[in-house]
């Protein structure tokens, strides 16, 4: 489920990036690439698990929860990158005013 949820997040982020391609300030490309990187890595992991006789997809509830946590962590990392870049100069203006 972790692989599926991350792949779904990668597809969703790519669609949003495509429709917001002119707005590079949002760094949606970085978010999509991050999820694609993780999805590809888990794909390899799943193949190795299948080669060892384990199921290709882990459909347990705990793995689904892990998938959601992974998506959340990706969003948090993206938010940190976005705020650190401060594209709208919100923090810069705030610092200048105070």
> By the criterion CB under 8 A, which residues form the site for another protein?
2, 6, 29-30, 33-38, 40-45, 48, 66, 69-70, 73-74, 77
Q: Report the residue number, 51 or 95, with the smaller CB distance to another protein.
A: 51
**CA-to-CA dists, residue 22 to 17, 18, 25, 67, angstroms:** 9, 9, 9, 30
- Minimum gap (Å) between residue 27 Cβ and another protein: 9
**Pick 68 or 90: Cβ nearer another protein:** 68
Question: Which residue number, 45 or 86, has a Cβ lying nearer to another protein?
Answer: 45
Q: How distant, in Å, are the alpha carbons of 4, 59, 76, 79, 82 from that of 87?
A: 32, 40, 17, 12, 7
């Amino acid at each position: 489920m972790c692989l599926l949820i991350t792949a779904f997040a990668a597809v969703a982020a790519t669609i949003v990036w495509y429709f917001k391609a002119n707005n590079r300030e949002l760094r949606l490309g970085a978010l999509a690439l991050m999820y694609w990187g993780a999805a590809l890595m888990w794909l390899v992991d799943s193949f190795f698990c299948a080669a060892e006789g384990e199921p290709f997809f882990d459909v347990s509830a705990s793995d689904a929860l892990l998938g959601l946590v992974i998506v959340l962590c990706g969003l948090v990392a993206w938010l940190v990158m976005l705020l650190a870049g401060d594209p709208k100069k919100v923090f810069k203006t705030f610092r200048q005013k105070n």
